[in-house]
Chains A and B, each alone.
Chain A
């Protein structure tokens, strides 16, 4: 899919909505971590994959954190944060915003976890 350099409202909403659904799946499966809910999460990540919004967010993330440009590193970061929030992605996202663990992508404030999910979905294209 062709991507532009701008993160439009539609792109942004699609990316965040996909992440939000992922958080619901993690909760309803009663799982304790993102990766342990792998089939469903992978499905959602697949939805993000190739999406222009997710790729733009991923690129911004890798500009700030080039050392995270590996799947294992991103998975470890997300898993650790998820575990600290009893497997609740929703709680993790809320905590990210409350604690200013955020970054800006074209004027949209994105939580670091959202950005990491996009980065995970965007590998390797976004690096």
Chain B
């Protein structure tokens, strides 16, 4: 059932067994798990089914740390959340990401990768991924040659692309038709009201941009608004405690993490086929894959650094030699004079090397994707280590609802620079030794500037602000994603990640949401 809270005839009070705040990847995944269970579920969403500028404006935030891409553009505040614009790149976190690594402060999840594996499997289905195969199995599927790189330094890493699944479109009908789920649109949660002891959530206050107010009661609540909004809402809910809900230890909002992107230009010197195969893509009946590398666990341990992946960032497009040659060949084979013949010939002549490589690759691997350009841009995405000084707090600026905006103070640590430095030198040495390929490394990585943190590019992967930890002094939620301090308030999304690894977060967000859904079912009395 759908209720638009903006409509005058909509009820002002809602009551359910489970209330999920936020209809993004995490919130919708949990709600869908409750479809047809008989449990009364409320899914509260700030936006509508379509993008609305005024609602999106509520995402405006203040930067007080390292400059970032505009926060207002990084997320989408509407039904389906940021899955309305994600590119679908999926990979699970690596087992080492879950380990307590003595060289990385605050590392170590209270759960293991093996424990999350069954949920990753289910998450693949939700994200419309056709196979759970990874790494060497994908390389075999794509008939890639084995990598000549030193396995103690750099190992194969694969990603799989979701179509990408737009969660709003995919699940809208199921949730609309569901008799036990109520989706409440245009309802902004402006306060989480807890009891006097700040140990139990009593209700939520909701409001529309037009000034309509209401209240939501439930047995259990799940906060699923992303790693900036989750702490913002907890911190702004200060009617009982000045520090906000469940924040007596001042951990809410801390440990804000990103993935740190650096670009390298790779220059193949001679036969670049092994290099191009190692950083390529492949599409077949099992799915669409990206092939790349990551730093080996052994190297991470020896060098005392975080996890890093490296993949091709090259785009082909209209001007690629292979695409131009294909256009010419198609025209000639159908007896037509090619359009823009001269321009296409120029495109071909300009990059004969990549055309030859692609022809060879097509001959060997007919279902492989084209790899373009003699120069290849490689993107290195590094884990940012947990840092309590990197945090989300409240700004003095107010949003259109009169609520304080988020202030994001993104900070990096020296180990973050070291991680990328080791990645750069390892990549350069491995490519030179085994792939006849050289890379150019930006100066600031090797001879750090005073402002080196601002050289990194953030990638809109917001992580860690209500992190999972056994110790309430180091995390906001326990291993079941329940807030340490509040007995009926749970958190879903990448804000609960203890550490960020290098992998794109959505698959893990969904896996953790499914795990939380199972737990929540066990906490509710059997539905009648």
Which A residues contact B (CB, under 8 angstroms)? 9, 12-13, 16-17, 20, 93-95, 97-98, 100, 102, 104, 106-109, 111
Smallest distance from the beta carbon of A114 to chain B beta carbons, Å?
Answer: 9
Bound: A111/B269 CA distance, A: 15
Bound: A94/B432 CA distance, A: 7
Given A9-B265, A13-B269, A20-B270, A108 contacting B429 (CB threshold 8 A): no
CB closest chain-B residue, reference A109: B428
Smallest distance from the beta carbon of A9 to chain B beta carbons, Å?
Answer: 6
Smallest distance from the beta carbon of B446 to chain A beta carbons, Å?
Answer: 6
Given A16-B269, A17-B269, A20-B269, A107 contacting B433 (CB threshold 8 A): no
Bound: A93/B265 CA distance, A: 21
Give which listed residue, A17, A97, A108, contacts B433 with CB less than 8 A.
A97
Complex interface residues of chain B between 408 and 425 (CB less than 8 A to chain A): 425
Decide if the interface of chain A is mainly helix, strand, loop or mixed. helix
Which of B180-188, B250-258, B437-445 participates in binding chain A?
Answer: B437-445
Smallest distance from the beta carbon of B421 to chain A beta carbons, Å?
Answer: 11
Which residues of chain A are near B367, meaning CB under 8 Å? none
Asked whether A109 lies within 8 Å of B441 as measured between CB atoms, the reply is yes
Which residues of chain A are near B439, meaning CB under 8 Å? 109
Smallest distance from the beta carbon of B193 to chain A beta carbons, Å?
Answer: 56
Which residues of chain B are near A16, meaning CB under 8 Å? 269, 438
Give which listed residue, A94, A106, A109, contacts B438 with CB less than 8 A.
A109
Which residues of chain A are near B432, meaning CB under 8 Å? 93, 97, 109, 111
Asked whether B150 lies within 8 Å of A104 as measured between CB atoms, the reply is no
Bound: A12/B442 CA distance, A: 15
13 A-B pairs within 8 Å (CB atoms) are namely A9-B265, A12-B440, A13-B267, A16-B438, A20-B269, A94-B433, A94-B434, A97-B433, A98-B429, A100-B429, A107-B442, A107-B443, A111-B432
Which residues of chain B are near A106, meaning CB under 8 Å? 443
Smallest distance from the beta carbon of A97 to chain B beta carbons, Å?
Answer: 4
Which residues of chain B are near A13, meaning CB under 8 Å? 267, 269
Which residues of chain B are near A108, meaning CB under 8 Å? 438, 440-441
Which residues of chain A are near B150, meaning CB under 8 Å? 98
CB closest chain-B residue, reference A98: B433
CB closest chain-A residue, reference B265: A9
Bound: A102/B439 CA distance, A: 13
Smallest distance from the beta carbon of B302 to chain A beta carbons, Å?
Answer: 12
Bound: A9/B375 CA distance, A: 11
Bound: A16/B269 CA distance, A: 8
Complex interface residues of chain B between 129 and 168 (CB less than 8 A to chain A): 150
Which residues of chain A are near B429, meaning CB under 8 Å? 97-98, 100, 102, 109
Which residues of chain A are near B270, meaning CB under 8 Å? 20
Asked whether B440 lies within 8 Å of A107 as measured between CB atoms, the reply is yes
CB closest chain-A residue, reference B432: A97
Asked whether A104 lies within 8 Å of B441 as measured between CB atoms, the reply is yes
Which residues of chain B are near A100, meaning CB under 8 Å? 425, 429
Interface centre among B150, B433, B442, B446 (most CB of A within 10 A): B433
Which residues of chain B are near A93, meaning CB under 8 Å? 432-433
Asked whether B446 lies within 8 Å of A104 as measured between CB atoms, the reply is yes
Give which listed residue, A9, A12, A98, A107, contacts B446 with CB less than 8 A.
A107
CB closest chain-A residue, reference B441: A107
Q: How many residues of B contact A (CB 8 A)?
A: 19
Bound: A100/B443 CA distance, A: 19
CB closest chain-A residue, reference B443: A107
Which residues of chain A are near B440, meaning CB under 8 Å? 9, 12, 107-108
Bound: A47/B275 CA distance, A: 28
Interface centre among A17, A94, A97, A102 (most CB of B within 10 A): A97
Bound: A20/B429 CA distance, A: 16
**Chain B 221-248 near chain A by CB (<8 Å), digits 1 or 0:** 0000000000000000000000000000
Smallest distance from the beta carbon of A53 to chain B beta carbons, Å?
Answer: 12
Smallest distance from the beta carbon of A108 to chain B beta carbons, Å?
Answer: 6
Asked whether A12 lies within 8 Å of B438 as measured between CB atoms, the reply is yes
Which residues of chain A are near B269, meaning CB under 8 Å? 13, 16-17, 20
CB closest chain-A residue, reference B375: A9
Which residues of chain B are near A111, meaning CB under 8 Å? 432
Which residues of chain A are near B438, meaning CB under 8 Å? 12, 16, 108-109
Given A102-B425, A108-B438, A108-B440, list of 16 further CB < 8 A pairs? Answer: A13-B269, A16-B438, A20-B269, A93-B432, A94-B433, A97-B433, A98-B429, A100-B425, A100-B429, A102-B429, A104-B441, A104-B446, A107-B440, A107-B441, A107-B446, A109-B428
**Chain B 308-336 near chain A by CB (<8 Å), digits 1 or 0:** 00000000000000000000000000000
Smallest distance from the beta carbon of B449 to chain A beta carbons, Å?
Answer: 14
Bound: A107/B263 CA distance, A: 12
Bound: A93/B270 CA distance, A: 15
Which residues of chain A are near B434, meaning CB under 8 Å? 94
Given A16-B438, A104-B446, A109-B438, A9 contacting B428 (CB threshold 8 A): no
Bound: A24/B265 CA distance, A: 26
Which residues of chain B are near A17, meaning CB under 8 Å? 269
CB closest chain-A residue, reference B264: A107
Bound: A97/B440 CA distance, A: 15
Smallest distance from the beta carbon of B147 to chain A beta carbons, Å?
Answer: 14
Smallest distance from the beta carbon of A54 to chain B beta carbons, Å?
Answer: 15
Smallest distance from the beta carbon of B150 to chain A beta carbons, Å?
Answer: 7
Interface centre among B150, B429, B434, B446 (most CB of A within 10 A): B429
Smallest distance from the beta carbon of A50 to chain B beta carbons, Å?
Answer: 22
Bound: A17/B268 CA distance, A: 11
Smallest distance from the beta carbon of A6 to chain B beta carbons, Å?
Answer: 10
Smallest distance from the beta carbon of A115 to chain B beta carbons, Å?
Answer: 13
Smallest distance from the beta carbon of B126 to chain A beta carbons, Å?
Answer: 42
Bound: A100/B267 CA distance, A: 20
Bound: A26/B381 CA distance, A: 40
Complex interface residues of chain B between 263 and 296 (CB less than 8 A to chain A): 265, 267, 269-270
